[in-house]
Structure 1
Amino acid sequence: MPHAPRRTALLCALLTSVVPLSTATAAEPRDGAPAPSLRFGACPASVPAPPPPERVECGTVSVPLDHSRPDGTRIRIAVSRVRASGTPAERRGVLLVNPGGPGGSGLPYAVTKRAKLPDAVRRAYDVIGFDPRGTGHSAPADCGAMGGLFDAPGTGAAPLDPVPRDRPGERAYLDSQRRLAADCAAGTGDALPHLSTSETARDMDAVRAALGERRISYLGVSYGTYLGAAYAARFPRRVDRLVLDSVVGPQDWHDFDVRQAFALLRQREVLFDWLARHASRFGLGGTAGEVGAAYRRVRDGLAARPVAGFGAAAFDRAVYRALGRTERWTALGDGLRAYLDEGSVDRLRPAAPFDGAESRTYEAANRVVKCADGPGPAPGRVLADIRRLRGADPQPVLTGLEAAACAYWHVRPAERTRLGSPAAPPALLVASAHDPVTTLAGARALGRVLPGSRLVTLHDDYSHGVFASRGNRCVDTTVGAYLVGGTVPARDVHCEGPGLPEPSPRT
């Protein structure tokens, strides 16, 4: 069978720990059963070292692949820890952190995110990172060729342009999603239905038990908010503090993807206007319309003649990545200008190649988790939504429509992931007013299924990721007081944002 090597590799990942183990920690019984063991030791090379005297340590927790069959196949969840820096009297417990995705590796996040947290939070909490199942060092998902997702245009394996414009293009688009689903089924095998958010929430509780903690606090960003709400739904009385930053709304994944695609179109218009207001810096035109025309010349040129494998699909991925972070707008503007002047795409390429091994694992886990979380869309709905997007703009960015592959998924979940619980303590939600990746409307919608929660909004801000990310004192003080002292604001909090940035200096 052509996919047998991938099945063998996955089975090894399922059954073998990839993180060195040493020194055992205390454990606590969970629901009357022995707590899983967790031994900490050295970390993989992908985990950076924090500044001395602090140190990061890593280990694994063994969990069932299918939590409803505890005696069946088991996998290992990779965990990292940086201990609280304060006195024993200051320590509050553990703070699990997740960077988003689905598909983001959380193992290094215990170090990188912790470095940005307020000092009082670092003193109070052991910060715990973990790779959710299907990602990083935790039974990584394998989708093989992924329907030609990363193939350069012109190879015959993928349509030349990822935005279908006619019936043949639509058929080619759906065929690529069908092939992607088939590749994921062949590569991931029996694990396919079990790499879900609900199963990951149960893994989180196994980590809690292995750490010997009665309750956990949690900070999730982007998809991490969805995971946190799923944990609160299943284990409401095991939640201490719950911070959900840049919130995924409680829709099904395809609906979320489509809402995001429309928000990205609105953000792109803001970008065009910003580039026009800095015409002397970028030279792309003095009006949003002129900048838009320059943008289309770049994209049309790359669709017709890719440069070193960088075509329309790679361009759209670069734009998708840039639109959610205003600090990336200068590089995108410079990249557009460089292509028009020199035919170069060097400035348009991201620092980490999209076709690297880590990115392939991310993209695989992203589809596998989304499609395991609930019923997927029908192919007709996928096409109808793409037509709606093209009706709004002839050149939408479809990169984020990851759940389109769920139309052809080989395992059909019967129910959507449950989110939130009246029994959980009040949560603190954080949102940027103009974030196009996870919209403010989504944060408000999730807030309605988390009773007693409060929303902290950073106004006049256009980026994804807010707490301990944007450097906003109002946000960081409010969230820090909640995490350390349990202070729940009496009402929603409104913070003044920075507005759009000035362009970075030329390099």
Structure 2
Amino acid sequence: MPLAGRSALRRIAARGTAMAIGAAMAVIAGLSAAPSVHASPSATGALRWAPCDDPAQPGAECATLSVPVDWAHPGGPRLDLAVARRKATDPGARVGSMVFGPGGPGDSGVDMVVGRISRFSPEVRRRFDIVSFDPRGVGRSNPVTCSDDLLAERPSPELTSQADFDATMAYNRRLRADCRARTGPVFDHLDTAQTVRDLDALRAALGERKLTFHGSSYGTLLGAQYAETYPRRLRALVLESVMDHSVRSTRDFLQSEAATAEDSFQEFVKWCDGAADCALHRRDVRTVWQRLLAQAGRGELENPSKPGTSLSSSDLVNKIAFRKFYQADYAGLATAIAEMDASKPMPASPISIAPLPPATPVFCSDWHLPVRDYQEYASLVAMMNTTAPDLPYLLPIHMTAACLGAPTANPQHRLKARGAPPILLSNALHDPATGYSWAVSVARQLGRSGVLLTYEGHGHGSVTNGPCMENAVDRYLTDLAVPPPGTRCPAVPS
């Protein structure tokens, strides 16, 4: 994520990417200026709604919800969560409120409701108040704040020795101390288990006896853990692009992430071989791609979005290819590759390492991914490069390096949601960040409650990909009618 300026302190409203990890982690861009949240809850905890401060996006209402910094000590310090909603477009047919759980980690739910409401189907917008929030540590909800200068000093994840490994551990300690001092006490309470309690407080403040929730990408972790914690307070739960929090070992996690990303690259090559409109049609796509990777590794590949500056091989993989995989925009990726290949190499220049989003501590607090030493780290990198030879240094290895030495308050475990109602899981067969196998695994963990809806296409996110998917999800949310087991929906042109 590019950071502007040299000030020692900057409040950052970070969006995740979205590689899952999982999805959430493939997007590493900063939030643009967003509507302020005016109102505060009353003493009784009800939400006081007021128009959001964005005249370009009328109709959205904003509020804040006060919650404890640490739910284990509800009488201690508090923070205000930013909340937004758009009311049902057909009040006479309104079912209730549907809360959306944003991805990332680092995505803003307020921005989704204010500026990207078309992400939801017309039927859902007609029947539900669409509500979302900025999770703790994100956006307007006490965002993680760190020194710009220190963020810019992030070591490369391409470690070459035990000394590099030790330097990364030391840097992580310095950064955590800096971010904690600037962010305040919430820094130590960013995990999803705390956000589950925030979500239940939001349910109560909305006056909903039971929660209707749609979680996407990293938001599926929140939804699944809500079902585990409060199974009988759940009306309906959609998990879209599913994260599997039962993947325990660092090696298994990284291997699954590398495999699902490489699958998307292979699907891209297959598409290009058969599509006459592919800008690389009848060319050896892998040869062209490897040539660009080599140029980027030498600092000779010009950044198409910042002429005159070099594009690193990591950014070529994570910011160019992976983002196109998210959108299943194979034509756009082929055009971008062809244009970069046709450009003249730059004079070799130093390769910079983009800072990770400040929301990284949210991920670190949820995922225990230990690495003993440089030797083990090198073996993990080699395994990922074997699994995904076309996509070196995927974002998950960056996140693993960034979390070295960090405490994990909410480590991985198998999901147990006994007593939960039917839960609808939605996943593409070829999702670059949250692989289909994760959705299958989570559905199995949910037992009789888990119903998997398969989209036979590509990309990260699937609930509105064609009438088959959209109608199945709409019927579940409005009428609690789950599709038959094994339901699959055909891919639609992107």
Q: Aligning the two structures, in what range does the TM-score lie when normalised by the shorter sequence?
A: 0.7 to 0.9
Alignment partner of 1:302 is 2:299: yes
The whole-number CA distance in structure 2 between the counterparts of 1:7 and 1:336 is 35
1:272-298 CA-partner distances (Å, limit 9, x unpaired): 343454577525862344334444344
Q: Contact 1:21–1:40 (CA<8 Å) still a contact in 2?
A: yes
Q: Contact 1:261–1:396 (CA<8 Å) still a contact in 2?
A: no
- Matching residue of 1:477: 471
- Matching residue of 1:121: 124
TM-score normalised by L of structure 1: 0.78
- In the alignment, which of 61, 64, 88 is matched to residue 60 of structure 1? 64
Q: In the TM superposition, what are the counterparts of 1:423-502 in structure 2 within 5 Å?
A: 423-451=419-447, 452-459=449-456, 461-468=457-464, 470=465, 472-498=466-492
- In the alignment, which of 215, 219, 222 is matched to residue 220 of structure 1? 215
Give the deviation of 1:303 after TM superposition.
6.2
- Matching residue of 1:39: 48
Local SS of the residue matching 2:439: helix
Q: In the TM superposition, what are the counterparts of 1:13-162 in structure 2 within 5 Å?
A: 19-21=37-39, 35-45=44-54, 49=57, 55-88=59-92, 90-112=93-115, 114-145=117-148, 148=151, 158-159=155-156, 162=157
**Compared with structure 1, are the counterparts of its residues 484 and 9 closer, same or farther at alpha carbon in structure 2 (3 Å cutoff)?**
closer
1:297-326 CA-partner distances (Å, limit 9, x unpaired): 443343688852533333233135335335
Q: Contact 1:7–1:186 (CA<8 Å) still a contact in 2?
A: no
The whole-number CA distance in structure 2 between the counterparts of 1:214 and 1:302 is 57
1:347-369 CA-partner distances (Å, limit 9, x unpaired): xxxxxxx97xxxx7x8221x211
- Matching residue of 1:267: 264
Alignment partner of 1:193 is 2:194: no
**Compared with structure 1, are the counterparts of its residues 489 and 137 closer, same or farther at alpha carbon in structure 2 (3 Å cutoff)?**
same
1:359-409 CA-partner distances (Å, limit 9, x unpaired): x7x8221x2112212533124454332121123427523223313322221
Q: In the TM superposition, what are the counterparts of 1:290-329 in structure 2 within 5 Å?
A: 290-302=287-299, 307-329=308-330
Which runs of no fewer than 5 residues in structure 1 stay unpaired? 11-16, 26-33, 152-156, 346-353, 502-507
Does 1 or 2 have the higher relative contact order (CA < 8 Å, sep 6+)? 2
- Matching residue of 1:422: 418
**Given residue 238 of structure 1, which amino acid in structure 2 is its aligned partner?**
R
Q: In the TM superposition, what are the counterparts of 1:392-403 in structure 2 within 5 Å?
A: 392=387, 393=389, 396-401=392-397, 402-403=399-400
The whole-number CA distance in structure 2 between the counterparts of 1:363 and 1:385 is 23
Local SS of the residue matching 1:408: coil
The whole-number CA distance in structure 1 between the counterparts of 2:286 and 2:310 is 29
The whole-number CA distance in structure 1 between the counterparts of 2:489 and 2:87 is 31
**Given residue 368 of structure 1, which amino acid in structure 2 is its aligned partner?**
P
The share of aligned pairs that are identical, in percent, is: 27
Which runs of no fewer than 5 residues in structure 2 stay unpaired? 1-6, 14-34, 347-352
The whole-number CA distance in structure 2 between the counterparts of 1:137 and 1:316 is 30
The whole-number CA distance in structure 2 between the counterparts of 1:283 and 1:301 is 23
Q: Contact 2:296–2:311 (CA<8 Å) still a contact in 1?
A: no
- In the alignment, which of 364, 368, 388 is matched to residue 361 of structure 2? 368
TM-score normalised by L of structure 2: 0.80
- In the alignment, which of 402, 406, 410 is matched to residue 405 of structure 1? 402
**Compared with structure 1, are the counterparts of its residues 332 and 79 closer, same or farther at alpha carbon in structure 2 (3 Å cutoff)?**
same
- In the alignment, which of 156, 159, 164 is matched to residue 172 of structure 1? 164
Local SS of the residue matching 1:243: strand
- In the alignment, which of 271, 274, 287 is matched to residue 284 of structure 2? 287
Aligned residue pairs total: 448
Local SS of the residue matching 1:250: coil
Local SS of the residue matching 2:357: helix
- Matching residue of 1:229: 224
Give the deviation of 1:163 after TM superposition.
4.0
**Compared with structure 1, are the counterparts of its residues 7 and 332 closer, same or farther at alpha carbon in structure 2 (3 Å cutoff)?**
closer
**Compared with structure 1, are the counterparts of its residues 303 and 312 closer, same or farther at alpha carbon in structure 2 (3 Å cutoff)?**
farther
1:388-442 CA-partner distances (Å, limit 9, x unpaired): 1123427523223313322221x34375467451111110000101112111100
Q: Contact 1:370–1:403 (CA<8 Å) still a contact in 2?
A: no
**Compared with structure 1, are the counterparts of its residues 92 and 326 closer, same or farther at alpha carbon in structure 2 (3 Å cutoff)?**
closer
The whole-number CA distance in structure 2 between the counterparts of 1:174 and 1:135 is 29
Q: Contact 2:65–2:83 (CA<8 Å) still a contact in 1?
A: yes
